Structures are given as C-alpha cells and as structure tokens.
Amino acid sequence: MTSDENFLSISNLKAQDLERPVMKLLKGILKWTVRVLLVVLIIAFVWGFIAYWMSKNDCQQLTANPTNPMKAILQCDYGVANLTLSEIEKPVPADNQVLLKVRAASLNPVDGHLLRGFFLMRPMVGMRKPKETRFGRDVAGQVEAIGKNVTQFKPGDEVFGLARGACAEYACGTERGLVIKPNNITFEQAGGVGVAGLTALQGLRKGNIRAGQKVLVNGASGGVGTFAVQIAKAIGAEVTAVCSTRNVDLVRSIGADHVIDYTKEDFTKRDQKYDLLFDNVGNHSRSERQRVLTPNGVCVLAGVGGAGMHPESLGRVAGNLAAALFSKFGGQKFVTFIAQTNKDDLAFLRELMQSGKVSPIIDRTYKMSETQAAVRYLEEGHARGKVVITID
Ligand SMILES: NC(=O)c1ccc[n+]([C@@H]2O[C@H](COP(=O)([O-])OP(=O)(O)OC[C@H]3O[C@@H](n4cnc5c(N)ncnc54)[C@H](OP(=O)(O)O)[C@@H]3O)[C@@H](O)[C@H]2O)c1
C-alpha cells in the first residue's frame, strides 16, 4: 500500500467514525419527534372526543316550566333548522343591567357563523352544541326596568345598541352597549345599527379617514357598506361605491359620489387612486388593491363578501391575512380589525342619525317566527342594507 492509499483509508475511516454517531443522533431525534407528535395527536383526539360529548348548554333549564314566560329565539343545537321560537323565563336585570322590551333586532354575518358552528370556532363557541343559546345581538327597544347601579337610563327610555339574546320579547343589556335612540328614526332602523354601524365607523377610523380624502367602499350595498358610504360622506370624503347593477341607485341615493358596477367593471383596473379602500369583499389580490391605493393609502380589510360561508370565503380570509402580514414592510397598509362594542361610537352614530347624515337602510323585515327564513335570506350574501326581525 502506498502512502497516498494509506492516507485515504485513514481519512475514510475517520469520516465513517464521525458519520455514525451523527446519524444515530439524528435518527434518535426523529424517532422521539414522531413519538411526541403521536402522543400530542392522541391527547388532542381524546380531548376533542371528550369535549365534544361533554359539550352541553343551558337550553333545558331555560325552557323548563318558566314562571314568568316570554318568547325568545333559541339556538340549542347547531344549524339554521335548529333555531326555535320558545318560551323561556323573562330575564331579570343584574345590578349593572337594563331590561329592554325589544322592538327590533337585526342579523349580521357573525350570527350565521355562530349558528352554524364553523369547525375552527367550535373550541371557543361549543364543540357539539352552542354555548350561547340566545340568538341575536343588535337591538332597539324601550327600557322596562334598570338594575340598582344603572345611572344613565330610566324606564321608558327608547334605546338602541347591543344586547345578548336580542331576538326575544325582552333582553338585558349593559349601559356600555346602549344609547338613547334618535327620535327621527324608527325602531326597525335603530335595531339595524349595532354591529354594522360600529364596523363601518371603526373600520373607517382604522383607515385614518379624513375630510377631502378619496374613499372607495367595496361591497357598498350590504349592512356594513351602506353605513360606510354614509359615514365616509358625513366625515367629508369623496366616496366611490362598488356594487352590482341592481344596487346602483340605492348607493347613489345614500350619497355615493361615484358608483362602479362590479358586474361591468373591475375597480382595480382603473387609473383612479384612493387614500382609503374599505374592503367588505376581499375579492382582489394584494397587488391589485395596491395598484389603486395612493403611496400611503390604507386598505381596511373589513370582510370577505356577503353573509354565509361561500366556496371562496376561506381563500379570501387567507388572502387578506397574507396581505396584512406583507404590508407591514411597505408604505401602503392593509389592516384587519374586529369591531368592538363602544358606547362613544354608538353615541357618535346617534348624532349622525339625529342630524340626518346617516339613515339606516332596511332591506327586509321578518317576524320572530320567521327568523330561520331571515337567516337563510341574509346568508345568500346579497342583502341590500339590513335584515331586521321585528318583535310584536
Ligand atoms: N371586521 C368585523 O368586525 C366585521 C363586522 C361585521 C361584518 N364583517 C364582515 O363584513 C362583510 C360585510 O358584512 P355585511 O354585514 O355588510 O354583509 P351583507 O349585509 O351580507 O352584505 C354583503 C354585500 O356584499 C355585496 N357583494 C357581494 N359580492 C360582491 C362583490 N364581488 N363586489 C361588491 N360587492 C359585493 C353584496 O351586494 P350584491 O348583492 O350587489 O352582490 C351585498 O350587498 C362580511 O364578510 C362580514 O363577515 C366584519
């Protein structure tokens, strides 16, 4: 054996000696990772199984022989077909609560999501049955009684805002979620304000809206859109509304300066730039939306289209989240937000309505006994303003 061959065989031997323990270590790590993952999966499966079968709600107690009964819409199980008009105990306000005689309640896309129990939401909202059994949150009505710590309302006051279980003859709300109803709008209109009005106002503020700006509202004809157009106008913006042909006159009538019919034209292909894009639909890519934003423009990612789960909904959610993440590094911002109950914002909306600058648009009204039909209609995704439940 030459000295070169000798050197090669020694270096091969060293490499093999080194490789063996490294490979052994890697195999060990892989084996344990797989074992840990399997254990985690089994625990998650067992937890999910137990949580699913243990999941229950207060429906049986609510409906068992009420002594002071009232009619209410209950969601005891998931699914629109499981919404029932039931008799339950009339609520008694807690110290910080107001008891309302409900006159109108309205529906929002979130009511449908909670009712259907989308699987990703189930760990929060109830695995097998909904934890929240009373239906509805937007409300308008008359104060019937107050808890001992309530200072801002008295019996007889006409109010609107948000209250748990609004689709009922009576509901309890807190002072934080209610304000006095303007006298120039009906209970039906006031019942339509809650979530949609707050979403439009808070979303426009999230986009730093200012007078004189060019604002585009995509999805201008629905519950949120009809408020967004009117509030943006009231603040002094120049508003472009995007809607389908049958809603062109509607959005013009509520103040839109320009209207784009999305069935005929794609707003992202135009040369016009906007300071604020209030997007209720999310049906364009980030780069398409960037094209129509000014260099420091903001795209407010309010929603993913009409109420209900549609084949394109999940893709739009993912697209919006990615747009928000990537925009952290550029001049143009894409911002997501979830509307919050806020008394000052409700009071601001009341002033806009009292001054006639905002007027809630009602698409259809349904009786309490027709709530299933109302949800189904809303979930078609083409409401023109708000869908309201009237309480006799
Ligand atoms: N971020 C939050 O906190 C928050 C709060 C409330 C709602 N949201 C979300 O905001 C979105 C809107 O809510 P909403 O209550 O206004 O829903 P909605 O009342 O069901 O209204 C949906 C509107 O979208 C319009 N639309 C559908 N496809 C469109 C398109 N391609 N281009 C333009 N408009 C289109 C429909 O008009 P056509 O009939 O003309 O198609 C309809 O008027 C929903 O996705 C909802 O989940 C978010």
pLDDT digits (tens, 9 = 90+) for 187-244: 999 999 999 999 999 999 999 999 999 999 999 999 999 999 999 999 999 999 999 9
Pocket lining: 382 vs ligand 1, CB cutoff 6 Å: yes
User: For the chain, how big is the Rg over CA atoms in Å?
Assistant: 27
CA of 303 from ligand 1 middle (Å) equals: 7
- Please check whether residues 176 and 231 belong to one and the same domain: no
Residue pLDDT, tens place only, 332-390? 999 999 999 999 999 999 999 999 999 999 999 999 999 999 999 999 999 999 999 99
Pocket lining: 281 vs ligand 1, CB cutoff 6 Å: yes
Pocket lining: 126 vs ligand 1, CB cutoff 6 Å: no
φ, ψ for residue 220 (rounded to 5)? -80, -10
Kindly state whether residue 218 falls inside one of the protein's structural domains. Answer: yes
Pocket lining: 248 vs ligand 1, CB cutoff 6 Å: no
- Please check whether residues 131 and 235 belong to one and the same domain: no
Domain ranges, residue 11: 1-43
Task: Supply the pTM of this predicted model.
Answer: 0.88
Kindly state whether residue 49 falls inside one of the protein's structural domains. Answer: no
- Please check whether residues 219 and 179 belong to one and the same domain: no
Pocket lining: 381 vs ligand 1, CB cutoff 6 Å: yes
Q: What per-residue confidence (pLDDT) applies to 19?
A: 75
**What domain count does the chain have?**
3
What CATH number is given to the structural domain containing 274?
A: 3.40.50.720
Pocket lining: 327 vs ligand 1, CB cutoff 6 Å: no
- Please check whether residues 81 and 33 belong to one and the same domain: no
> Which among 198, 202, 191 is positioned nearest to 167, based on CA atoms?
191
CB 259 within 8 A of CB 235: no
Helix (H) or strand (E) segment spanning residue 188: helix 187-191
Residue pLDDT, tens place only, 145-201? 999 999 999 999 999 999 999 999 999 999 999 999 999 999 999 999 999 999 999
Parallel/antiparallel/unpaired status of strands 138-146 and 97-106: antiparallel
CA of 228 from ligand 1 middle (Å) equals: 11
CA of 306 from ligand 1 middle (Å) equals: 4
- Please check whether residues 184 and 202 belong to one and the same domain: no
Pocket lining: 108 vs ligand 1, CB cutoff 6 Å: yes
Pocket lining: 195 vs ligand 1, CB cutoff 6 Å: yes
Pocket lining: 107 vs ligand 1, CB cutoff 6 Å: no
- Please check whether residues 188 and 242 belong to one and the same domain: no
Pocket lining: 192 vs ligand 1, CB cutoff 6 Å: no
Tokens of 170: 């009576």
φ, ψ for residue 318 (rounded to 5)? -60, -45
Tokens of 267: 């707003």
Parallel/antiparallel/unpaired status of strands 238-243 and 258-261: parallel
Instruction: Point out the ligand 1 atom lying closest to the alpha carbon of residue 304.
Output: 45
What CATH number is given to the structural domain containing 163?
A: 3.90.180.10
Closest residue CA from atom 9 of ligand 1: 303
CA dihedral 8, 13, 16, 17 (to 10 degrees): -140
Give the confidence band of 265 by pLDDT, cuts at 50, 70, 90: very high
Q: What per-residue confidence (pLDDT) applies to 62?
A: 83
Q: Please provide the average confidence, as pLDDT, over all residues in the chain.
A: 93
Length of the chain: 392
CA of 112 from ligand 1 middle (Å) equals: 13
- Please check whether residues 176 and 224 belong to one and the same domain: no
Give the confidence band of 10 by pLDDT, cuts at 50, 70, 90: low
- Please check whether residues 255 and 211 belong to one and the same domain: yes
Q: Which of 250, 263, 281 to mutate to test the pocket of ligand 1 (most atoms within 8 A of CB)?
A: 281
- Cα separation values, 37 from 24, 32, 40, Å: 20, 8, 5
- Please check whether residues 178 and 219 belong to one and the same domain: no
Instruction: Point out the ligand 1 atom lying closest to the alpha carbon of residue 218.
Output: 33
- Please check whether residues 226 and 282 belong to one and the same domain: yes
CA of 55 from ligand 1 middle (Å) equals: 32
Report the SS3 class of residue 336: strand
CA of 242 from ligand 1 middle (Å) equals: 11
- Separation of alpha carbons 87 and 64, rounded Å: 9
Give the confidence band of 4 by pLDDT, cuts at 50, 70, 90: low
CB 77 within 8 A of CB 153: no
Pocket lining: 256 vs ligand 1, CB cutoff 6 Å: no
Q: What per-residue confidence (pLDDT) applies to 229?
A: 98
Closest residue CA from atom 26 of ligand 1: 219
- Please check whether residues 169 and 211 belong to one and the same domain: no
Q: What per-residue confidence (pLDDT) applies to 308?
A: 84
Q: Determine the residue type at 89.
A: E
Q: What per-residue confidence (pLDDT) applies to 73?
A: 97
Residue pLDDT, tens place only, 268-326? 999 999 999 999 999 999 999 999 999 999 999 999 998 888 889 999 999 999 999 98
Pocket lining: 243 vs ligand 1, CB cutoff 6 Å: yes
Residue pLDDT, tens place only, 47-93? 877 777 767 778 888 888 889 999 999 999 999 999 999 999 999 99
Kindly state whether residue 356 falls inside one of the protein's structural domains. Answer: no
Kindly state whether residue 351 falls inside one of the protein's structural domains. Answer: no
- Please check whether residues 171 and 277 belong to one and the same domain: no
> Residue 1 pLDDT > 70, yes or no?
no
